[in-house]
Structure 1
Amino acid sequence: MTNFRAPTARSHKRTPVSIEVMVNGVLNFVGGRIADLSEGGARIDGASMPARSRCEIHYAGEVTYAVVMWSEFDRMGVRFPYELSHGALYKALEAARRNAATETPPVFLSHRAPVFGRRGLN
């Protein structure tokens, strides 16, 4: 019998954002950009630290603590040990969700008549 554990669904919806932050690890302090954010974690592009390390995310004069869950060369995913429920980063998340809810999807117009099958090849 294998000890397989199916992945669990995320409990929070990720929201696309573009938030410039500073990430403080044990030995380094680097700039990065949060590309998606939820109450439970974030993906940070431009910064990378070892998986399972702890870090601080500095934004708007406030600090949010995080644990690196995965890491690649130029980005990483972090989990917040305490869910976001207030503060500057949470306000940025709420604003991004409000903006996403009010945006209208882009309309793509074509000046060409629709072509089906081989009729449009001649």
Structure 2
Amino acid sequence: MDNFRTPAARGHKRTPVAIDVTVNGVLNFVDGRITDLSEGGARIDGASMPARSRCEIHYGGEVTYAVVMWSEFDRMGVRFPYELTHGPLYNALKRARTASMVQPAQTFMGNRPSAFGRRGLS
């Protein structure tokens, strides 16, 4: 049996983000945007490299190493050989998770009528 992991086998919660990064492959630097991030990997739009190739993700003055798991014309999914536990990319993930937890409550409070009953809506 090979080591292929199905989406149900993921051990980390994926979080939607919009993080502009530079991806360094063997021969080139490509600008991309991380749109889905977890401690174990990311989806990068706007960049594409061959599956099973190794790359570096440059963000916030630091480098995160990754392996391309799948690739399409304009996006790819990467796995981090070492889980994110610190650094700028991990901090961006924590901020995105915190924002997603706070935002629904703020949206509810902003849409709530300021007065009770029909008289407050006229």
Q: TM-score, normalised by structure 1?
A: 0.81
Structure 2 vs 1, CA of residues 6 and 50 (structure 1 numbering), >3 Å: closer, same or farther?
A: closer
Shift of residue 6, structure 1, vs aligned partner: 8.0
Gaps of 5+ in 1: 108-122
Change (3 A) 1:73 1:12: same
Equivalent positions of 1:48-67 (< 5 A) are 48-67=48-67
What is the correspondence of 1:32-111 to structure 2 with a 5 Å cutoff? 32-104=32-104
Residue type of the alignment partner of 2:46: G
Q: Is the radius of gyration larger for structure 1 or structure 2?
A: 1
Per-residue displacement from partner, 1:20-66 (whole Å, max 9, x unpaired)? 00000001100000000000000000000000000000001000000
Q: How many residues end up aligned between the 2 structures?
A: 106
Aligned partner letter, 1:84: L
CA RMSD of aligned residues (A): 2.1
Shift of 1:82: 0.1
When the two structures are superposed, what TM-score results if normalisation uses the length of structure 2? 0.81
1:12 is aligned to 12
**Between Structure 1 and Structure 2, which shows a larger proportion of helix residues?**
2
